[in-house]
A and B are shown apart, each in its own frame.
Chain A
Amino acid sequence: MQKIISFICIGLVFFALSVGAAEKVLRWNLGTEPPTLDPALAHDTTSLLVIGQIFLGLTDYNPATGEIIGELAKSWQVSPDGLKWTFYLRDDVVWTNGRPVTAYDVEYSMKRMLNPATAATPANLLWVIKGAYAYNTGTGSAEDVGIKALSDYVVEFELDHPVGFFAALATRVVVPVPREAVEKYGDKWTEPGNIICNGPFMLAEWVHDDHLVLVKNPKYYDANSVHLDKVYCYMVIEASTALAMYEAGELDVLRDPPTAQMDRIKTDPVLSKELHSSPRLGTYFFGFNCTKPPFDNPLVRKAFAAAIDRQALVDYILKGGQKPALTFISPGVPGYVGDEGIGIPYDPEMARKYLADAGYPNGQGFPEVTLMFNTSELHRAVAEFAQQCWQKVLNVKVNLANQEWKVYLQTLQQDAPQIFRLGWMASYPDGYDYLKRNFDSRTPENYARYRNPEFDEAVDMLERITNPEERMQWFRKAETLLCQVDCALIPLYYYTMVELTKPYVIRDYYATINDVPNFKDWDLLSH
């Protein structure tokens, strides 16, 4: 009797294993628990990664070509004055409860996002719409907002002023949510069982702070092209533990292996073959507080910029194959002008000349200055490298200081130090985001306190003009002012994504907005 039972059990186990082996399950590490899966509330990369698999946007960024393509929208047109944008939606997209996704969903979701009670975090990207700012800050009403569903599959946006890249904005923020779930379940509408999706995957299981499971959505309009059956997302914070799981075969992909282990990984016969660096849409830079002496003198800023050997930084400190940066906007983002000779390259002779012209020949009389960064081993290593460069080339002493991230942000807001370390990742696929949010004199987050009316004018032009060639001219002008003439910052390198991937995973390595991988294009070989 016992023997029969054991045979049956063994048989069941094999059966389960074989069924399991037929399913394509990707095991991914999210790192942390996603704070939310509501597109209106999400602004961190973990939440956006999951949202990107289960919800569709009006438009999308094609990472292979860098173009904006339609997702929910088939096509769109702009009125001659640039104020009315009309989007024509696909008619074959449905929610997982069977109901079609319509223009009314778009109107409802955008007005919900602008409702001040929702306290939506990406809402500022919608302020270009007529009446949106007033509604969002509590002085207007929903009826006056320029978003209207003209019919089931046509939605019209009326803007406050012409915005040439509105379709690029829409990739990030126009992501409709299912009204019936939100109204029925309130804050808990994103829990499994309550949530209704429309993307290539849907949320099947979510054990908070432990794991979540995405399964292929059979109702997705292009379900036949999706190969993966399941994506199992762990939430392991500790990078070294995640690496141990990857090596033990419990994870299929590992993003950002711990820096301390990179040397070992690169010399390991197995791991070195599975390691890959790919570009990301972001730039790491040192900003100057242009109001604080001695950095109120552009010659001093240029001297400091010309003294940094970026290639050596990448080769010896970063070791991730990053691309050195001379301009601010990253490659892959419309507006990138980095290969055109703009910017201040490494040139120790010129650096010394700039400093001498500024009145500090060979660093004599140069005051002690401070470079600040937020606490992290990596930032410390980069800061120490820069400190050495400045000492060696310019003969000046730079002190280093670091603060915990949130404290650091507050310091930057209130009184930025002379030199500060920062990074910028593209919020949506257009370089306007980089320039406006960081160096426009009217933006509060312009910690560098950079004020140049010509630069502001270029930024305004970039917002309004639609013609791509004309825009590139303005991008060139803006970057030349920012990185070369005025040198308000030292761009250091463009971020890369370092990943370990098992050989049986078929995937792409395109740079995407917010590093959201397109799992719908991935596949798994049997292993």
Chain B
Amino acid sequence: MWSYIIRRFLLTIPVIFVVSSVTFLLMHAIPGGPFSEEKALPPEIIKNLEKKYHLDDPLWKQYIDYMWGFMRFDFGPSITYKTRTVNDILAQQWPPTAILGSISFFFAILVGVVLGVISAVHANTLIDYGCMTVAVIGVSMPNIVIGPLLIWIFALNLKWLPVARWGTPAHVVLPALTLSAPYIARFARFTRAAILEVLNEEYVRTARAKGLSERLTIIRHVLRNALIPVITVAGPAFAGIITGSMVVEQIFAIPGIGKYYVTSVNNRDYPVIMTFTLIFAFCIIMMNLLVDILYAIIDPRIRYT
């Protein structure tokens, strides 16, 4: 198992290089640069700016300079935000994204799995239909609709929560709900399907025949096997929450790195684009590795060589 994990870690390095090259090339292929602004700047001024940020170096040199810096964790200056380096931006702004992302992720799993279990146990009853309807709504409404809707209900009309921004636990509620909604739905449906399948297995019937209570049957025997599809969903859900955070942070004016990522593409802020893409890629790779390890832990039949 350990050799598998080490191998996966080492494989990350070429993947990161491929992601960085593709991102770098794409970035420079899009028309427009960091200095094409509201008002066109005279060419002499642009020349001074390009010199300052080394954008007049040949592309291969810019790439190597960046990757060399990246390996020493020096991510370069932000071209758009003149007082800040990318390191500054990351250091100041990763906490809101991390907090919001983790809360949404675990909330989605918790609520999703519980909803799925309830639906499965009461399959084909009103409770089941109700839960699944809620799930479908969650998966169909995009977060640009859910977000403002929640703001309208809870912030403007009921006045229970603040409209936007960050800083107190109350500020986390609406964005976390918005971000987790589609994934609650997915987790619920997958859990429900997995449990229904397992409920028909022989060993479940045996457990019931032995006199085990329904609750203990579910928790001790059914859930563990039903979790495998759930973990499968967890990987892409994590990726989805990262990308979803970009929209949600924009709607709720949360000073995280998701919001920054979108504006950096619009601004063609190359160092920021490169760094954030690589960091997100790394997170997703690690998450997938974690998912694979969890498989091995939960299902003893799965063994890696």
Cβ < 8 Å to A, chain B residues 46-102: 47-49, 51-52, 77, 80-84, 88-89, 92-93
User: Contacts A32-B263, A248-B163: A240 and B148 contacting too (C-beta < 8 A)?
Assistant: yes
With beta carbons under 8 angstroms apart, the residue of B159, B252, B255 that contacts A208 is B255
Assess the A209–B93 pair: CB atoms within 8 A: yes
Q: Does B288 contact A (CB under 8 A)?
A: no
Assess the A444–B43 pair: CB atoms within 8 A: yes
Assess the B48–A116 pair: CB atoms within 8 A: yes
Report B-chain residues with C-beta under 8 Å of the C-beta of A37. 83
Q: What does the 1/0 interface line of A232-244 toward B look like (CB < 8 Å)?
A: 0011111011001
User: Contacts A35-B82, A241-B253, A410-B32: A210 and B48 contacting too (C-beta < 8 A)?
Assistant: no
Assess the A121–B82 pair: CB atoms within 8 A: no
Assess the A187–B253 pair: CB atoms within 8 A: no
Q: Would you give the shortest CB distance from B171 to chain A, in whole angstroms?
A: 11
Q: Would you give the shortest CB distance from A389 to chain B, in whole angstroms?
A: 27
Assess the B255–A241 pair: CB atoms within 8 A: no
Assess the B164–A444 pair: CB atoms within 8 A: no
Cβ < 8 Å to B, chain A residues 387-438: 404-407, 409-411, 413, 424-425, 427, 437
Partner-contacting stretch, out of A38-46, A293-301, A306-314:
A38-46
Report A-chain residues with C-beta under 8 Å of the C-beta of B159. 248
Report A-chain residues with C-beta under 8 Å of the C-beta of B186. none
Cα distance A123–B46 in the bound complex, in angstroms: 11
Q: Would you give the shortest CB distance from A480 to chain B, in whole angstroms?
A: 25
Report A-chain residues with C-beta under 8 Å of the C-beta of B250. 237-238
With beta carbons under 8 angstroms apart, the residue of A124, A244, A406, A409 that contacts B163 is A244
Assess the B81–A36 pair: CB atoms within 8 A: yes
Report B-chain residues with C-beta under 8 Å of the C-beta of A35. 80-82
User: Contacts A36-B81, A208-B89: A123 and B45 contacting too (C-beta < 8 A)?
Assistant: yes
Q: Would you give the shortest CB distance from A263 to chain B, in whole angstroms?
A: 17
Cα distance A427–B30 in the bound complex, in angstroms: 28
Assess the B32–A409 pair: CB atoms within 8 A: yes
Closest-by-CB residue of B relative to A117 is B52
Assess the A116–B51 pair: CB atoms within 8 A: yes
Report the contact-size class of chain B (Cβ under 8 Å from the partner).
35 or more
Report A-chain residues with C-beta under 8 Å of the C-beta of B259. 209, 237
Report B-chain residues with C-beta under 8 Å of the C-beta of A36. 81-83
Cα distance A187–B77 in the bound complex, in angstroms: 10
Report B-chain residues with C-beta under 8 Å of the C-beta of A404. 32, 266
Report A-chain residues with C-beta under 8 Å of the C-beta of B166. 210
Q: What does the 1/0 interface line of B29-40 toward A look like (CB < 8 Å)?
A: 011110011111
Report the contact-size class of chain A (Cβ under 8 Å from the partner).
35 or more
Closest-by-CB residue of A relative to B88 is A208
Assess the B52–A244 pair: CB atoms within 8 A: no
Q: Would you give the shortest CB distance from A351 to chain B, in whole angstroms?
A: 31
Cβ < 8 Å to B, chain A residues 265-320: none
Cα distance A425–B148 in the bound complex, in angstroms: 33
Q: Does B105 contact A (CB under 8 A)?
A: no
Cα distance A241–B166 in the bound complex, in angstroms: 13
Cα distance A292–B66 in the bound complex, in angstroms: 43
Cβ < 8 Å to B, chain A residues 183-238: 187-188, 190-191, 207-210, 234-238
Q: Does B201 contact A (CB under 8 A)?
A: no
Assess the A241–B42 pair: CB atoms within 8 A: no
Q: Does A247 contact B (CB under 8 A)?
A: yes
Assess the A188–B51 pair: CB atoms within 8 A: no
Cβ < 8 Å to B, chain A residues 34-88: 35-38, 41, 43-45
- Tell which of A120, A209, A407, A427 has the most Cβ of chain B within 10 Å: A209
Q: Does A137 contact B (CB under 8 A)?
A: yes
Report B-chain residues with C-beta under 8 Å of the C-beta of A120. 45, 48
Report A-chain residues with C-beta under 8 Å of the C-beta of B51. 116, 119
User: Contacts A43-B39, A187-B83: A136 and B255 contacting too (C-beta < 8 A)?
Assistant: no
Q: Does A454 contact B (CB under 8 A)?
A: no
Report A-chain residues with C-beta under 8 Å of the C-beta of B49. 119, 121
User: Contacts A208-B255, A248-B159: A136 and B44 contacting too (C-beta < 8 A)?
Assistant: yes
User: Contacts A41-B82, A121-B41: A235 and B152 contacting too (C-beta < 8 A)?
Assistant: no
Report A-chain residues with C-beta under 8 Å of the C-beta of B38. 43-45, 425
Can you list 26 A-B pairs, Cβ within 8 angstroms, ordered by A? A41-B82, A116-B48, A117-B52, A121-B49, A124-B41, A136-B44, A187-B77, A208-B92, A210-B166, A234-B253, A236-B165, A241-B148, A244-B155, A244-B164, A245-B164, A248-B155, A248-B159, A404-B32, A406-B31, A406-B33, A409-B40, A410-B31, A411-B31, A425-B38, A427-B39, A437-B39
Closest 4 CB pairs of A and B: A406-B32, A36-B82, A236-B253, A209-B255
